[in-house]
Structure 1
Amino acid sequence: MSLFKSLFGKSPPKQVVVQPGGEHFAVDAGQTVLERALKEGLAYPHDCTVGTCGSCRTKLLSGRVEAITPFGYTLSKNELDAGYILACQAIPKSDLELEVEIGSDSAIAPLTCAARLVGIDDLTHDIKRLRFQADQPMRYRAGQYLNLRWNGGDAHRSYSFAAAPSADGSAELTTFVRHVPGGAFTDLLFTGDPLAATYEIDGPHGNFWLRDGAADKKAPLICIAGGSGLAPLISLLQDAAERRVRRDCILLFGGRGARDIYAQDEIAAIRNAWTAGFDFWPILSEERHDQYRHGMVTGHVGAALEKLGPGAHGYMCGPPPMIDAGIHALTEAGIALDHIHYDKFTDASTRG
């Protein structure tokens, strides 16, 4: 009987320990790491839960997992070679030791509340700034995002905060939204009557924020953005400037043409308040213009790092191809994956 059970019985739960915080939990057979962590009430970083956004990227320190969907659909070869997995797609096949930052600050725990859309500004031909008035003040870390639902529906879209946070929280929340043709919300925003809609927000979410611990205080920053990916970087850099963070920084922003370059007033204000060196490099991939650099935005990583000097850390926000190219460029230049942080902007078309 014991042999029968060993061959055909239910597999015992696998024990998971998460570093550096020491969180631990048991994962039942057939469960993913993320599924169990969320049931345990842990603020494990995640968004899409289907393996496309990369938010639950986790380093596997020891043990074995089975991937429901191959991790390589989302993670770069550099990340796979370094042992990274996606917690939402990982079923433990043994006890595990993982490395990921799990949020633990109760002061910025997520909340859900109603909100009104009170302002819309055109930034480019396909990006708008939205200002929401929430029923409750929300606290967040610079670089994080909120989830937005509209007209009582179940579907949500994720948009990054586009302004530095207030220490006491803010009920006025700003974000940038790029038009995705055929997108349920962005079509409403660009061609419908968005001010008449009802909204619910929940947040904050995400593990994209400036790491500025003792070991990172002097590391230069190379920031790379595309499209509405400027939103979390503006939030992060505004906050860093307000806190008098003294680290040299170059912000690279990629667009197809001159009409895609925006938020220059906000960036100029950051430059004026920055306490170290700060450069902004707009880069056009399809047009040539006397005022801007030309080429793919990630093609200018080498020149930026040469100016910044050794020891830089990378922060990137934008579409998946840009993030993947950026990871490759930064690691080829010698930056460790542990010092590369990103928010990969996906839309509904990439989530199945």
Structure 2
Amino acid sequence: MPPSLFSRLFGSGPSEFKLQINTPGQTVTAQAKESLLVAALNEGIAFPYNCRVGGCGECKCRLVSGKVKELTDKSYLLSAEELKLNYILACQSLPKSDVVVEVTLREGAVSHPIVETSARIAALTPLTHDILHVQMQAEQPLTYTAGQYAELVVPDEAGAAAGKGRSYSFATAHNAAQPNAVDFFIRKVPGGAFTEWLFAKAAVGQWLKLRGPYGDFCLRPSANPIVCIAGGSGLAPIKALLEQAIRDKQANRPLVILFGARTEQDLYGLDAIDQIRRNWTGRFVFEPILSNEAEGSPWKGRRGMITDHLKTILGERLPDYHAYMCGPPPMIDACVEVFTQGGMPSKQIFFDKFLDSGHTAHPAG
């Protein structure tokens, strides 16, 4: 029986295909069981992406030729015009033949080899009632840029949670002297298989699988002032990003940090922020803003939503700032609206949305 007929009848076929990115462009090998995005990232190509799970639409590209198997419905993320032009989500498309796609590659993107390794839990430290500081030692050294994230996967012996994985941003800048050390701030998500296991059953000495780094959220070189906005565990990449800025001699830029939390009991990492303050040579402003603090509490700081205070804090220079935001999507979307209405160019706005396991998207849960 001819191989092609056998493949049609029994479903087997080539294990890899050619993926051409732009014409002229780069051609890489794509495994039949891996997405087009993974194939591109594994070769260090600056393909645009964020969540890797079909939730953000950042990896959309036009399928010029070839066939793919699409793992999820793309119509809720792509416009009618994009669907008509044969756009696909690279992170949700498996090659079924040689493929050619067109996409605008990322400018100023960071690229490090993606490592798949095991990592041992070295310490578990509660920061609040629902945020845990997880310190780990990886078997293999990792190189990453502050602002990127890794995927953690529960070990096989963890029962019902085995194999469950979620993505979390690195909470410290990369330390070349300790390349195997990685830290995360992880928020407990009710009903989230990974965090339910982590908070209830994980112990120092246990091993997890780790893959990364991923993402292109990073500090861009500039002389412009910086506004950093963090909500919940979104403080992790903001902290790492600012530590990296100090190492990279960018600490002379004016800096405003806005940290959104529900109550004073939900604030954490204040010592780390104070350490950044002591090493920051430019103007430094830190404003925690509480959205649900009891009326009669002794809290003297700002209350309400972060968007209630943005224009007041940044003033007339709002359009000059470069904005870096990490946290819940509603917070980020609301801030983006204030920034754009205030005249801040979209090219100066950078963010990483943290979605829990109940949504289709990126880090958390």
TM-score (norm 1): 0.77
Deviates more, 1:38-47 or 1:193-202: 38-47
CA shift for structure 1 position 103? 4.9
Deviates more, 1:40-49 or 1:329-338: 40-49
The one-letter code matched in structure 2 to 1:172 is A
Q: Is the 8 A contact 1:25 1:40 kept in 2?
A: no
Deviates more, 1:184-193 or 1:172-181: 184-193
In 2, distance between residues paired with 1:329 and 1:59?
26
Q: Which residue does 1:129 correspond to in 2?
A: 133
Work out the percentage of aligned pairs sharing the same amino acid.
39
Question: Is 1:253 aligned to 2:248, yes or no?
Answer: no
Question: Is 1:115 aligned to 2:116, yes or no?
Answer: no
Length, aligned pairs only = 316
Matches within 5 A, 1:196-211: 197-211=206-220
Deviation readout 1:161-197 (Å, 9 max, x if unpaired): 1111124562111110000011112112222243364
- Of residues 270, 273, 298, the one that matches 1:267 is 273
CA shift for structure 1 position 239? 1.3
Question: Is 1:231 aligned to 2:236, yes or no?
Answer: yes
Deviation readout 1:82-107 (Å, 9 max, x if unpaired): xx99654799xx974524248564xx
In 1, distance between residues paired with 2:253 and 2:88?
31
Q: Is the 8 A contact 2:61 2:101 kept in 1?
A: no
RMSD of Structure 2 on Structure 1 (CA): 3.7
Q: SS at 2:124's partner residue?
A: strand
Q: Which residue does 2:246 correspond to in 1?
A: 241
In 1, distance between residues paired with 2:113 and 2:39?
19
Question: Is 1:283 aligned to 2:289, yes or no?
Answer: yes
Deviates more, 1:178-187 or 1:168-177: 168-177
Compared CA separation, residues 203 and 43, structure 1 to 2 (3 A): farther
Q: Which residue does 2:147 correspond to in 1?
A: 143
Compared CA separation, residues 70 and 316, structure 1 to 2 (3 A): farther
Compared CA separation, residues 134 and 250, structure 1 to 2 (3 A): same
Deviation readout 1:215-260 (Å, 9 max, x if unpaired): xx21111111100000000000011123221211101111111111
Deviation readout 1:91-140 (Å, 9 max, x if unpaired): 9xx974524248564xx311111111010111111101000011122111
Q: Is the 8 A contact 1:252 1:280 kept in 2?
A: yes
Q: Which residue does 1:351 correspond to in 2?
A: 360
Compared CA separation, residues 276 and 39, structure 1 to 2 (3 A): closer
Q: Which residue does 2:58 correspond to in 1?
A: 57
CA shift for structure 1 position 32? 8.7
TM-score (norm 2): 0.74
Q: SS at 1:136's partner residue?
A: coil
Q: Which residue does 1:5 correspond to in 2?
A: none
Q: Is the 8 A contact 2:37 2:59 kept in 1?
A: no
- Of residues 47, 50, 59, the one that matches 1:44 is 47
Q: Which residue does 1:219 correspond to in 2?
A: 224
Q: Which ranges of structure 1 fall in alignment gaps of 5 or more residues?
A: 1-12, 76-83
The one-letter code matched in structure 1 to 2:200 is T
Q: Is the 8 A contact 1:14 1:96 kept in 2?
A: no
The one-letter code matched in structure 1 to 2:274 is A
Q: Which residue does 1:81 correspond to in 2?
A: none
- Of residues 307, 315, 329, the one that matches 1:320 is 329
The one-letter code matched in structure 2 to 1:135 is E
Q: Which ranges of structure 2 fall in alignment gaps of 5 or more residues?
A: 1-17, 65-71, 80-86, 95-99, 157-161
The one-letter code matched in structure 2 to 1:49 is R
In 2, distance between residues paired with 1:274 and 1:203?
29
Deviation readout 1:3-53 (Å, 9 max, x if unpaired): xxxxxxxxxx998549xxx95569x9xx9974774587635354543422x
